[in-house]
Amino acid sequence: MAYKTSGAGYADVAAHFRKVIKDGDLSPGDPLPSVPEIREQFDVSAKTVSRALKVLKDEGLAVSAGALGTVVAKRPRFAPATGASRVERTRNGGPNYAPGETSTGHEAMLLSYIDPIICQSLDIEPHDEVVIRRRMFRQDGAVKIIAIEVIHPRALAAVGDLLKQGPRGPVHWFVQYEEATGKKINGSPERRAARHASRDELDLFEISLPDADVAVPVLVTHTVFHDEDGPLEVMEDIHFPGLWHEARS
């Protein structure tokens, strides 16, 4: 992919390859372009390329591999993906999954909802029916993120397969909705908050505690998506205890 920018700095080069690795366009073990190729692609000096590669190595995203040059690390470290970042990535043509990531436990259902925060966010009354979709994202077989979508029922008129069970396709349902209605979906700024995991969440994370009264903190990311008619979905991700700390260590 061409990226001719005269005078680009090492940070620009590092940012480009950081995104390529995060989006899964390069998988663990794949080689990065050679130094001459990167110089040509970005119109930069060999020193700039060296500095950019050092940044990627210092971040744990890439490693030196002898004759192969620089390759993507077997276990790249970056902040775990959130629902909002997955939507953006798939809209840009990238994969829904991070390197080495899989998903299980795909569920979709129409339920009466009572959570006051979610009801307020969707501008619905408690006990109104909503579409609930849930799945678990795994790394190395272990559940790392519980992803939940709470969708306003009016979306069903435009996207009839919202209640389809099983794994979803590579394109988020937002694309289908926008094509069917001509209405653009936008997201609010992502909010992050810590709280104690529920018993059900601990079970999904496959965490067994000897003492039922032990409180386990988790990070929750929360984004509200809306179109011109109002709120359309609340997307929440519950992250495995310590996952964000681990990603930065």
Question: In this model, does residue 48 exceed pLDDT 70?
Answer: yes
- Average of per-residue pLDDT values in the chain: 87
Phi, psi of 221 (to 5 degrees): -100, 140
Query: pLDDT tens digits, residue range 89-134?
Result: 777 666 777 767 889 999 999 999 999 999 999 999 999 999 999 9
With cut-offs at 50, 70 and 90, classify the pLDDT of residue 64.
Answer: very high
Asked if domains 10-72 and 83-248 share a fold, the reply is no
Pick the CATH number of 83-248 from 3.40.50.2300, 3.40.1410.10, 3.30.2010.10, 3.30.56.10: 3.40.1410.10
Instruction: Give the pLDDT score at 69.
Output: 93
How far apart CA 202 and CA 208 sit, in angstroms, is 7
- The per-residue b/e assignment along 172-199, b for 16 or more CB within 10 angstroms, e otherwise, is bbbebbeeebeeebebeeeeeeeeebee
Q: Over the stretch 157-170, which tens digit does the pLDDT of each residue have?
A: 999 899 998 888 77
pTM: 0.70
Judge whether residue 57 has pLDDT over 80: yes
Rg (CA), the chain: 21
Domain coordinates of the chain in residue numbers?
10-72, 83-248
Cα 215 to Cα 10, 48, 219, 239, distances in angstroms: 44, 48, 13, 15
Which CATH number describes the domain made up of 10-72? 1.10.10.10
The pLDDT value given to residue 27: 87
The answer on pLDDT for 54 being more than 80 is yes
